[in-house]
A and B are shown apart, each in its own frame.
Chain A
């Protein structure tokens, strides 16, 4: 009887793992926009940067724009969020060569949001979930996050 119970438990545990695994993402979820904007109460400008292209120069451009915004306004006076979805999620891959730049921008308060829909789609193609930069925060859908940011007063730009 105990053996049967053990088997049932093990089977349930394994099924649970299989069922849960695709929906559990390694990076934490992003704060809701209403909470996120509290981090920069003195912001004179709020800018959301869209990255939905895979190519390196576009990725570099987005990071340069974020950097220039901070240079112009100062880190406390500008609220910048980079939203990556579609092929643009490549920017937030863990081994991306621009990882150091992402880290230094994050240290100045720039947020990086990764689209969960894209992660799921990419996981299906790859057969495993792509590892993301530790600075990335998961949002349910990149495009929805941009709409929410826009409603909260963010200027949305796709450099």
Chain B
């Protein structure tokens, strides 16, 4: 036994550890791009990025809901969004077109990304009190001049949960989980938006939010980078934003803070892109203040945080996330006047995919649960199993068929009556990326 070994005081060993980690990060090459949404969306590949790359995707969709009415009337979970009129509908869920690139090929440290959405969804559909309008979903410039501290400015997807941050090309289900849809996909009521009671169909028109939802985006500035350490890739991002989504206004003087960290083990560093085989662990945090649209003298803290893991190595894919939130807990598409609150909510999901070997077929299964208004008389629980099958015509064109089995319940009797008969939902979608 070596008696010369001494145990360092905790504070000293912590400093050494920290110095070692920082040193490792500095030595590591900051040019990793694999399976990393922060980098894939925020930067172009140096030396090979074109000055203008036109791209986009279209998602024609059909959905049919099998829920029953309660006393002949329907609530939003039983209707097809974003209009929430009827129980079956064809729609163009997303139709996005944009350009990105590095405008000056000799010095491609400046990158840009612009995208617009012409589909009909929570970003573009104005609901009962507004009207359809295409939106600019992304408009950002990235400056890659400082090693370890790239800077992205403008409108773009903020660093956060995997389901919201990931590219649509990698979203393996047609509808978001309830936890992502309700806890993270923020809506912004306008003073003129009123609550809508249960309606009859086919003209329910229950979307009461006239402003575009966030689309997991914000206007602000983000400092970020990724670092390779052997087969590991570590990524950080810190952002300050308006907290107003794709709207080009700031609701108040406070700024939203977004923090993100991920560490990914790359099975194949040469295979870069969204389908890179890897195991990624990540955590994130968001906080900000919101002003009451109906009484601008009132402000409310809004906090969200979560963690998760992704695994992808064909033929298997597994993803799991869990997240928590306090303040501004969404109470439904028909209830804009109840959004300003300090309630709590939490939820998560586990999903897995199997790419059937030597075929173009993929099978998917997802379980998600969400509970909102935790510890309140209005506590409500949402749990859903979604089974899906995808056929990939090409790597950029696929058809997706999902069937969701939903079990919703609430502690409040009146609300529970409306939710008990929420049933299955069939969704069929073609995704064509160009």
Contact = CB atoms under 8 A, between A and B. Distances in A.
A54 B106 CA distance: 9
- Scoring A59, A90, A130 by chain B CB atoms within 10 A of each residue's CB, the highest score goes to A90
Interface string A80-91: 000000010011
A97 B33 contact: yes
B270 interface: yes
Nearest to A99: B47
A5 B270 CA distance: 58
Nearest to A122: B106
Contact of B106 (A55, A91, A126): A126
B47 A98 contact: yes
A59 B105 CA distance: 13
A95 B105 contact: no
Interface residues of A, number: 19
A104 to B, nearest CB: 10
A37 B158 CA distance: 54
Contacts of A71: none
B47 A91 contact: yes
A56 interface: yes
B31 to A, nearest CB: 7
In which size bucket is the chain B interface?
10 to 19
Nearest to B105: A54
A27 interface: no
B31 A97 contact: yes
A87 B105 CA distance: 8
A71 to B, nearest CB: 16
Interface in A31-60: 54-56, 59-60
A96 B105 contact: no
A82 B333 CA distance: 60
Contact of A93 (B31, B47, B270): B47
A87 B50 CA distance: 12
Contacts of B270: 100
Contact of A56 (B31, B50, B106, B107): B50
B107 A96 contact: no
Contact of A96 (B33, B48, B50): B48
B156 to A, nearest CB: 21
B407 interface: no
A122 B106 CA distance: 7
B46 interface: yes
A125 B45 contact: no
Nearest to B49: A56
A159 to B, nearest CB: 15
Interface string B41-62: 0000111111000000000000
Contacts of A100: 270
Contacts of B50: 55-56
Closest 6 CB pairs of A and B: A96-B47, A56-B48, A97-B45, A95-B46, A54-B105, A93-B47
10 contacts: A55-B48, A55-B50, A56-B47, A56-B50, A87-B105, A90-B105, A97-B31, A97-B33, A125-B106, A130-B106
